[in-house]
Chain A
Amino acid sequence: MSVDTSHLEFSAAARERVEWLRTRYPKDHQRALILPVLSMAQREFGRVGPDVVHFVAEQIPVPPMWVEEVATFYTMYNTQPVGRWHLQVCHNISCSLMGAEIVIDHLEQKLGIRKGETTPDGEFTLIGAECLGSCGTAPMMQVNDHYYENLSLKAVDELLEQLRATPDQEPRAEDLPHGPGSGPSRRIADGAALQAGRGVVVPGHGVHRRDEDRPTVGDGEAQPPFQPRDMAQ
């Protein structure tokens, strides 16, 4: 299966970063670059679709299957499109003890979506995350790269307003945690990417249900009705 990757290109800084990475791992084990380069690609292109997978495979180079395997194994790769702001509320034990479920309920009501869904305008995706190492400052959520800790419902409301008002930022050099020096990043899928077909925005149905009604498939949460990824793209 050949996948066209001609529309994708790394920025100069990202290419520089890849060259730096090459020097950090043995020549015959360049497979080790897959995770960092894929993370970088996700930042540059806002998502990990089949084209990005093939693009990364060409950069290293390794067989695309190796990259695909990694892209689907790790939770931080967004093989499904996510909104501009990825709200990841930790719902593990320490946070739950301090009211994480209340924060999630509040967000669900406020955004009119359920855990796992994206708002129709593509602004917010809400998910329940597993322990993010902020248990002492619970409840907390991670929004894109940033941790917001010691949340109150008022703080959540304010944060949503702030995020809505924040324009899609220009790539910021320090946003790339994969090596020293500078590099660009785009925060997350922009509107154009979402509309270009890879982005299937799922409208929330605005109905709030307690989790008794949620089937325990997968991780015990309702699966969002995302359309399957189009491998043939």
Chain B
Amino acid sequence: MTYPIVDGARVLLNFERNTESWPLASYESRHGYVTAKEALGGKYTPEALLEEVKQSGLRGRGGAGFPTGLKWSFLPRDPEGPITLVVNADESEPGTFKDRVVMEENPHQLIEGCVLSCYAMGSNNCYIYIRGEYVGCLKRMHAAVEEAYAAGHLGKNLYGSGFDCDITVHSGAGAYICGEETGLIESLEGKKGQPRIKPPFPAVYGVYGYPTIVNNVESIASVVYIADQGAGATVDRTGYRRWGTEKSAGTKLFSVSGPVKRPGVYEVPMGYPFADLLNKECGGMLDGIALKALIVGGSSVPVVDADTAMQITMDYESCQEHGTLLGSGGVIVIGEGTCMVRALWVLLRFYHHESCGQCTPCREGTGWIERIVHRIEHGHASPNDIDELYRIADGMELRTICTLADAAAWPTKSFIDVFRSEFEEHIDKGCCPYDNQFPDPLNLRGGGVPQRHDDPEHVFVP
């Protein structure tokens, strides 16, 4: 099946998604590269385009939500070296798989977005850094870039405007920390992906020491729409601001996973109620399973319980009001019957594994909290372990080079805040009330078969 287009929200996935949606011919038939041609042909000066992006209210879709136009304006006016655009396609945040869909199904929109963004920031060179495991995306992006070069959408003197733009697709090799922008830059330079101390920020000192902007795939791909339709205004619902709220403009891709009927990637306007996303778009929870908890923006954000989840609307403000963050839009739905201690242990095992080891609170802290939670899960913990856990998590926050330590601390603290009784139960009983296992919502043990809810293309076997 193809995904419904919610409320006519069409910024990134504005087409029938199928096996033939990715090639250049298909993209050109949907207005592809017209925007770049027009923009370079005189519709915008670079300054005007940058201003348009600023006005659009586009905020970074990689997790932090930093205003994209503002970030670009930090570039020095008279840079000593060439400016570089780096597209962050490292997507390794557990629960997040939206960039993959953009790259597999609409790669040319990302390329057009790169051309426009480079034009606006005065750069002629762009790297797309894709995580190494995404072999499918890598091949597809290589193929799409090749097509774009052959058709004159990339290369020298684009559309006779005198503007050059080169894109190189670069592959990572398996490290979550390379999603952090300075870790990514180090990795791109051929080093270990250990984040740099900031400042200086990449806009001043980035790849090879030159000014660099790092943006998420979704952010860059959205620029096409902004350049085409203009920033618009929230009040009269025009341009990009046709969707979303004043502070969270536009549409957002949400990748929904967990025991729901139709998991997958949905593009909805910001401010869309979570209840509708769950019940309308995703068809509700699997039969017989009630919602227990929700992680709304990828594994690094605080967890909320079912009641709070149903009040959330999918935008930055609402998430913050309800004690969590929109993050990367990786919506992880947790069903009744899930052991929250075990869920936290699985997350902490990940952060412990992915810590790059530069900062002591992170390198040691992630290991300590993982071990304590493991101890609680297996009933070997003592009553004061919960407070100890909380104290260590507290001590990891805001003390490190990058936010990976915080990303491990936030879920830890929120799991305890929201589900403390479950932690206590483990300790009191001296064992896991859920038998040290996750539920089996698909009845795999009984020979169950997961539903193929996706169009064949999304289940991508390169």
Q: Which chain A residues have a beta carbon within 8 Å of chain B's beta carbons?
A: 24-26, 29, 31-36, 38-39, 62, 66, 69-70, 73-77, 91-94, 96-99, 101-103, 130-139, 142, 145-155, 174, 177-180, 210-212, 216, 218-220
Contact = CB atoms under 8 A, between A and B. Distances in A.
Given A96-B438, A177-B139, A32 B189 contact: yes
A155 B138 contact: no
A53 to B, nearest CB: 14
B264 A97 contact: no
Contact of B190 (A66, A94, A220): A66
A152 B259 contact: no
B191 A70 contact: yes
Interface in B190-209: 190-193, 208
Given A75-B175, A76-B132, A131-B350, A216 B335 contact: no
A69 B192 contact: yes
B462 A102 contact: no
Given A152-B444, A152-B448, A35 B259 contact: no
20 contacts: A24-B168, A32-B189, A35-B170, A39-B171, A97-B257, A97-B335, A101-B437, A130-B176, A130-B350, A131-B94, A133-B91, A133-B133, A135-B97, A135-B255, A135-B257, A136-B257, A138-B450, A146-B135, A150-B459, A179-B142
A98 B132 contact: no
B94 A102 contact: no
B353 A130 contact: yes
Contacts of A74: 132, 172-175, 193
B263 interface: yes
Interface in B241-281: 255-259, 263-265
Given A153-B447, A154-B449, A155-B449, A219 B335 contact: no
B452 A150 contact: yes
Contacts, number: 218
Contacts of B400: none
Interface of B: 91-97, 100, 131-136, 138-139, 142-143, 145-146, 168-176, 187-193, 208, 255-259, 263-265, 295, 299, 330, 332, 334-335, 338, 342-343, 345-347, 349-350, 352-354, 370-371, 374, 378, 436-442, 444-445, 447-452, 454, 458-462
Given A131-B95, A149-B459, A220 B135 contact: no
Interface of B is mostly: loop
Given A145-B462, A177-B138, A133 B189 contact: no
Contacts of B349: 219-220
Contact of A150 (B187, B188, B299, B450): B450
A94 B193 contact: no
B94 A94 contact: yes
Contacts of A92: 94, 299, 346-347, 350
Contacts of A139: 444, 450
Given A137-B263, A155-B449, A91 B346 contact: yes
Given A76-B174, A130-B353, 7 more contacts: A24-B168, A32-B188, A75-B175, A131-B350, A133-B134, A146-B462, A147-B460
Contacts of B143: 180
Contact of B436 (A133, A137, A211): A211
Nearest to B345: A220
A103 B414 CA distance: 29
A219 B93 CA distance: 17
Nearest to B375: A216
Nearest to B193: A73
B374 to A, nearest CB: 5
